[in-house]
Chain A
Amino acid sequence: MEKVWQEPGDSRRHLLMERSVAGRVGCSLPGLDVPEQPMPSAGLLREELRLPEVTEPEVVRYFTLLSQLNFSVDTHFYPLGSCTMKYNPKVGEAVASLPGFAQLHPRQPDATTQGALELMHRLQTSLADITGMTGVSLAPMAGAHGELAGTLMVRAYHHSRGEAHRKKVLVPDSAHGTNPASAAMGGFHVVAIPSDRQGNMDLEALRKEATADLAGMMFTLPNTLGLFDPNVAEICDIVHQAGGMVYCDGANMNALLGRVKLGELGFDVAHLNLHKTFSTPHGGGGPGAGPVCAGPTLSPFLPSPVVLKEGSRHKLGRPPKSIGKLGGFHGNFGVLVRALAYISLLGGQGMREISLNAVINANYLLSRLKDVYHLPYDRRCMHEVVLCARNQRAVGVKGLDVAKRLLDYGFHAPTMYFPLIVEEALMVEPTETESRETLDAFIQALREIDREARENPDLVRGAPHSTPISRLDEATAARHPDLRWRAQEQ
């Protein structure tokens, strides 16, 4: 990375309000072409508006300099586990900005939005095919939003059968952190199911919890250890026999494209992360999209709207027992355009190549690193590998130190300390779009860091050394929150 910021108090990092000069404007607006109208009483009007006053070139230079402080997929290998930081074809951006999509108002009559509705319907059909489900709603705006939809659907299903007492949701200890939070928002209480020594779900523990108050289970597949639980069909059966529904967190679908259909395994409802698997740039933390796909039992409860096809016409509709609306309009349409574009570019065979190369790349890292970084579950992985820094910890270097040192080598760090069941976890997801050369360079860097940990541990413990700032005082940030610019600082 370019060293654009070195000294304390560097003016290039001054905030917008510190750059503000009275009277400056960064854009030009037209004059008033209608007669001036009477203004409301002064009591309703704003007295003060402290917003930046800067010119357009100042805006461009400031934000461009800030952008250069970021690592990104366009500039760096970004193997953040469970986030699927693959390269996203640029044509997705181009088609999402076509005026017939980007300028379309969400409240226009269906007759004037047939192109957009057909696009959504095609995406619904494609996702139903990929997941083996019967119904799809594109309304959720992120993965966790899809999870909320799923938990509310499970709730509505039990209530519709007069079984409101079903309040327990099982979440394996190898699930994503959003799962228990989503279950709680659905009004459920969460019971964790432990993993066994192979990293699969402990079936005995599961059977014990499969009781009459069971509402369902939230199951991440492959799990956050990057492992496909071979007992998945049996697990679904156990939950079903107790009257529960099974939810699949499909955030890791990159491993499974064209390899298995969730509906056939027995899942009743699943969400997909379009921004992960189906290629929307992650935007520094969104926008994403989290469509929710359901089998025949739960499809009537899908969130509104869904796109229906009648003859050659498309229209927005509401499933018969819908949980209702989850957001203002029809979901993150711009993300949906990118997802359909991506699926169209790849087709069915391309889907299988994605999962193939994602799994090969992860296993390549596993096989070249496990002699140096401990592999807590010694078996082949799917799309990501969870290593741990136990060997390095023994010489006084933590997983976090390894992660920070990777930044000096020009690689984004893996997801750290997750899943919680692996000490010093490094969760690495290379994705299918990285070349062997990149993977080899990453392997070499991690092996080099292991050597440094033994020979010069302070070098690793003090890392990163080449980034615009070094490790930040997070404790003070939380104890004395400074969350916005304030006038007195001028």
Chain B
Amino acid sequence: MLRAIGVASAEELFQDIPQRFRNPPLRLPSPLSELELRQEMEALAERDLYPGKYASFLGAGAYRHFIPAVVWAIASRGEFLTSYTPYQPEVSQGTLQVAYEFQSAVCELLGMEAANAGMYDGPTALAEAALMACRVTHRYRVAVLDTVSPTYREVLETYARGQEIEVRQVPQKAVRLDAETACLVAQHPNFFGYLEELDALSVAAHKAGALLVTSVDPTAMGLFKPPGAFGADIATAEGQPLGIPLSFGGPYVGLFASRQEHLRQMPGRIVGRTRDGQGRTGYVLTLQTREQHIRRERATSNICTSEALVALACTVYVAALGKQGMQRVAELCYHKAHYAASEIAKLPGYSLPLSGTFFQEFVVRCPSPPAKVNEHLLERRIIGGLDVSDQVPQGMLLCVTEMNSRKEIDALVSALAEVKG
């Protein structure tokens, strides 16, 4: 091949790199065979204690749910796995039709009119929603309820800083918005697991000429009214609960939907249905003039590669569970979480400090610091909840899903009972 290229040595091909910088030494270890690699990776993985090996009641933004085998049997197919962004629709109809199915499912789950093909994760979807609200309203202040996850608030602040958008924290109990506010941001259920009064928040936002922007748990949408039914203008969600393994925090996918009228301010890929020259139905990337590769610095976002395969897995999950399965999972989580909460509340020294309706997460006030309680639980082979004592005194945020059997819940209650104040 070098002869065909017309060079005597391969080194000639790199001669544009100035000599003094060329071929630096690397300190990387020697190569491993596939077998050695497997052994090394298995040894690393075995050092982790993980839910499944231990019982787990940890949620706070990432949730352990049952994943039917069909989900990753489909999502691992090479034809989906090893393709890329469908720039050539004639040979990407699989990816494109799946994205259209995903957008349909997202619209239905969130009760919204239009959805995109997915964002990086729940927090970035919410941050981009707030930026979009600023573009729609031409206002540059964002009001965030203090019950929104601190992680989500931090990501929103990172995203907003560059464009000098002001992020203000608003107490859930006293929402007052001024005429400069682009949107009110709420999480439903909120960080502590409780439902917000979205109807009242919607009225408050709209009265101020602001948009209502929400982030929800998609599992809860099997049981509870979606944000669209309360008048949300932009609705987002973390897609991970829909068939995606916890995987130490990623890859996940953000769901993103809005009212139809704001469609052209939406970030990310959007797939539309159309026809070919012979009248056959086909799917194609559409409204691309919003995007970075066409509009460059005036694009609605810089997002390019996102989480298409994860969105595919979510789509297969929703298809496999279907209407009944989505309802069933939500009910199982609800009843098990409420059972656990009521049993824990009976223990001396424990209480439920928050009131309202919760879904699968709730805050327990412990008789001693939650970090200490968690250490004790770990000795009983239980991964406890998140320590939220910085927000609720002695508070621990527990999560119960369909993965937690009654036996596990009862073991948690017994282990908690052993902790004294």
Contacts and interface: CB of A to CB of B under 8 A. Distances in A.
B421 interface: no
Contacts of A104: 48, 50-51, 246-248
Given A26-B321, A284-B86, A483-B115, A333 B250 contact: yes
A8 B108 contact: no
Given A34-B336, A104-B248, A284 B308 contact: yes
B85 A105 contact: no
Contacts of A189: 297
B287 interface: yes
Given A98-B41, A106-B246, A230-B18, A59 B70 contact: yes
Contact of A363 (B5, B40, B221): B5
Interface in B6-38: 6-7, 10, 12-14, 16-18, 21-32, 34, 37-38
A132 B27 CA distance: 11
A53 B323 CA distance: 6
Interface in B246-295: 246-252, 263, 269-284, 286-289, 292-295
Interface residues of A, number: 197
B305 A288 contact: yes
Contact of B78 (A72, A155, A473): A72
Nearest to A484: B104
A476 B281 CA distance: 12
Interface stretch (A174-182, A204-212, A291-299, A386-394): A174-182
20 contacts: A15-B104, A27-B321, A46-B222, A67-B94, A70-B80, A72-B82, A99-B53, A103-B50, A106-B246, A286-B309, A323-B161, A326-B158, A329-B61, A333-B248, A334-B247, A345-B37, A348-B25, A348-B27, A472-B282, A476-B274
Nearest to A56: B70
B205 interface: no
Given A180-B297, A351-B26, A464-B90, A46 B223 contact: yes
Given A54-B319, A260-B17, A360-B1, A95 B38 contact: yes
A63 B295 CA distance: 34
B195 interface: yes
Interface centre among B16, B82, B94, B324 (most CB of A within 10 A): B82
Interface string A280-307: 0111111110000000000000010000
B319 A26 contact: yes
Contacts of A73: 78, 82-83
B143 to A, nearest CB: 19
Given A16-B319, A25-B324, A327-B124, A102 B246 contact: yes
A325 B86 contact: no
B316 interface: yes
B296 A144 contact: no
A201 interface: no
A91 B35 CA distance: 9
A53 B322 contact: yes
Interface string A451-490: 0000000000000100111111110111001111100000
B282 A286 contact: no
A277 B123 CA distance: 27
A103 B13 contact: no
B132 to A, nearest CB: 12
A78 B84 contact: yes
Contacts of B138: none
Given A69-B97, A72-B78, A330-B250, A477 B22 contact: no
Interface centre among A20, A36, A115 (most CB of B within 10 A): A115
Given A155-B162, A284-B309, A106 B62 contact: yes
A118 B48 CA distance: 10
B137 to A, nearest CB: 18
Nearest to A51: B323
Residue of B4, B80, B271, B297 with most chain A CB atoms under a 10 A cut-off: B297
Most A CB atoms within 10 A — which of B24, B30, B42?
A: B24
B147 interface: no
A325 B91 contact: no
A148 B161 CA distance: 11
Interface stretch (B179-187, B325-333, B361-369): B325-333
B245 interface: yes
A281 B84 CA distance: 8
A94 B34 CA distance: 11
Nearest to B282: A469
A185 B301 contact: yes
A238 interface: no
Given A129-B28, A347-B31, A418-B293, A327 B108 contact: no
B47 A118 contact: yes
B95 interface: yes
B28 A343 contact: yes
B29 A177 contact: no
A69 B89 CA distance: 10
Contact of A177 (B61, B226, B252, B296): B296
B88 A71 contact: yes
Given A101-B45, A103-B245, A329-B250, A483 B100 contact: yes
B178 interface: no
Contacts of A15: 97, 100-101, 104
Interface in A247-300: 256, 258-261, 264-265, 273, 275, 281-288
Interface in A422-438: 436
Nearest to B226: A46
Contacts of B248: 101, 104-106, 113, 116, 329-330, 333
Contact of B48 (A94, A100, A350, A407): A100
Contacts of A260: 17, 21-24
A433 B358 CA distance: 52
Interface string A151-176: 11001000000000000000000000
- Interface-centre pick from A7, A109, A366 (highest chain B CB count, 10 A): A109
B293 A348 contact: no
B2 interface: yes
A190 B87 contact: no
Contact of B286 (A112, A227, A332, A477): A477
Given A177-B293, A285-B84, A476-B275, A44 B225 contact: yes
Contacts of B336: 32, 34
Given A325-B154, A478-B286, A99 B6 contact: no
